[in-house]
Amino acid sequence: MQLSRAIGLFHGNIFLLSATVGAGIFISPKGVLSCCLLNIPVSLGIWVLCAILSMIKGLCAVEVGSTFPRSGATYFLLKRTLGPQVAFLSVCVKLFGYFVALSAQSLLVAQYLIQPFYAGCSPPELPKKCLALAVLWSLGLLNTQGVKTVSWFQTVSSLMKMSILCFISLTGIVLLVTGKKENLYRFENALDAELPDAWQIAEAILQGFYPYMGCTLLISIAGEVKNPTKTLPRTFISSLSIVTVMYLLTNVSFLTVLTPKEIISSDSVAVTWMDRVLPSMQWVISLGISASIIDTTSCGILSGSRILYAASQEGQLPLVYSMLNEHLSPAPAVIQLIILSSLAVIPSNLTQLIKYIALVSWVLHGLSMVALLKSRYQNPDLPRPYKVWLPVILASIAFSLFLIFIPIIQSPKMEHIYQLVFILTPLLYYRLHVHLSQSSVFSKKVTCYLQLLFNLSPSDHENCILAEKNRL
């Protein structure tokens, strides 16, 4: 019993487009422009820089996924090079990010689906939360049906949201070429705006990087990718190139129709854009945003459950999370992720939430790159089918340090101490749970009961995949 390798080049691109293109492109333009002091050239430059950073991050992750083609490849690398405590810490921090992000995404889906029924006012909280829970649990049940079923769902929803982005982009280009002079005047006088400082640039990068955060999805599910040595690099380069072009054109379209002040004062840039262009077609944008968030949420459930699966196989989480159902899906891990996401508390300030999630992502990425360098030094003879250029890894580490420490140096706050305490808290649980005996009679009884209830079978340890890697 192993996870099925069912993701080829086509579905790999679909998964990356689904995971990357989500609510971020409709939310982050506001945060990027605000941090750039309404400077249009700088804000567009931030989007290009974030695309380059994502490409660097993705290519570095490809080496990890091709060297260790298994679920939770980054977790396995950290455990092998930096020790089990660092690996367990990364699991806890990532899972917290998944809980918060999945809850926020489900609420956003509910907001856009229910808003047309409450024109002119905000929808009530109770129906919105009930709909959000229904969406979250529906996607969770879909993920328990196996990766093949999820692949076809992602294909349909990805085509829908890419159509919406193409419509926004092409409309913006047409309006820019044939529209009023004030649209061109806005870009001609853009260089007169105030320039942001280094701290504001770092904040803008954190905001702009949020729409690219799903770019390393395939590394978490590398154990389900066909021929990962060839599929992973091709998928990253092709998908991120498409995403970069679409994001730039979408931002240009927003800036063609709306002023920077209108963008930062809008709760939903895409909806405000549609109100200005085609007010009667506002429901199309709502449907497109909902589709974008739904399939991104589905990808988040898929990726987060595989992290639980990998940590369980390594003995750092209960054994039941690594058991598979008849569809070769780790159903207990999926259900646990959905339960905790349903209980997660959503902060009211979405912009702050985006910044914290992106910051944690770069902290974990920096640790992964340090582990990659250490692995190259300690195990130079380890087969590496794909090997990224060393300066790319060093540049990735340098950008990680810049994004982590510049905001702290420029504007130190008490919240930075709270973040550090929160990140280190899982180490206490590690001391209690991992170092103590986990083979209690009660734990075995619960595992057997769940195994019978959900018709589960223990999976073979994925270390055997490393032995088969050269034959893939």
Tens digit of pLDDT at every position of the chain (472 positions): 677 788 888 888 888 888 888 777 877 788 888 888 878 888 888 888 888 888 888 888 888 888 888 888 888 888 888 888 888 888 887 887 788 778 878 877 887 777 767 766 777 777 888 888 888 889 989 988 888 888 888 888 888 888 888 888 888 888 877 766 666 666 666 666 677 777 778 778 877 877 887 777 788 888 888 888 888 888 888 888 888 898 888 888 888 888 888 888 876 777 778 878 877 776 777 777 777 778 888 888 888 888 888 888 887 888 888 888 888 888 888 998 888 888 765 544 454 555 566 667 777 778 888 888 888 888 888 888 888 888 888 888 887 787 777 667 766 666 667 666 666 666 677 766 655 555 566 667 778 888 888 788 887 765 444 444 443 3
Which CATH number goes with the domain that contains 134? 1.20.1740.10
Question: On the CB side of 464, how many CA atoms lie within 13 Å of its CA?
Answer: 7
| pLDDT at 176 (0 to 100) | 78
Q: What is the total count of domains within the chain?
A: 1
Q: Which amino acid is at 22?
A: G
Closest CA to 203 of 442, 467, 403, 8: 403
Rounded CA gap, 407 and 416, in Å? 9
| pLDDT at 434 (0 to 100) | 58
Contact by Cβ (8 Å): 93, 421: no
Q: Which amino acid is at 116?
A: P
Is 4 among the domain residues? no
How far is C-alpha 456 from the chain's CA centre?
29
Contact by Cβ (8 Å): 20, 240: yes
| pLDDT at 182 (0 to 100) | 61
Is 3 among the domain residues? no
| pLDDT at 468 (0 to 100) | 42
| pLDDT at 271 (0 to 100) | 75
In Å, how far are 8, 206, 217, 254, 412 from 248, measured between CA atoms? 28, 17, 22, 10, 32
Rounded CA gap, 417 and 408, in Å? 10
Closest CA to 52 of 392, 447, 427, 412: 392
| pLDDT at 34 (0 to 100) | 84
Q: What is the 3-state secondary structure (H, E, C) of 97-158?
A: HHHHHHHHHHHHHHHHHHHHHHCCCCCCHHHHHHHHHHHHHHHHHHHCCCHHHHHHHHHHHH
- Secondary structure of residue 225 in the 3-state scheme: strand
| pLDDT at 407 (0 to 100) | 65
Is 259 among the domain residues? yes
Is 347 among the domain residues? yes
pLDDT, one tens digit per residue, over 224-242 is: 888 888 888 888 888 888 8
Is 2 among the domain residues? no
| pLDDT at 96 (0 to 100) | 78
Rounded CA gap, 337 and 128, in Å? 21
Is 216 among the domain residues? yes
| pLDDT at 464 (0 to 100) | 47
Q: Which helix (H) or strand (E) holds 458?
A: strand 457-458
| pLDDT at 233 (0 to 100) | 86
Domain that holds residue 339: 9-471
pLDDT, one tens digit per residue, over 87-124 is: 888 888 788 778 877 887 887 788 777 776 776 677 77
- Secondary structure of residue 395 in the 3-state scheme: helix
Is 371 among the domain residues? yes
Is 1 among the domain residues? no
Contact by Cβ (8 Å): 4, 148: yes
- Secondary structure of residue 323 in the 3-state scheme: strand
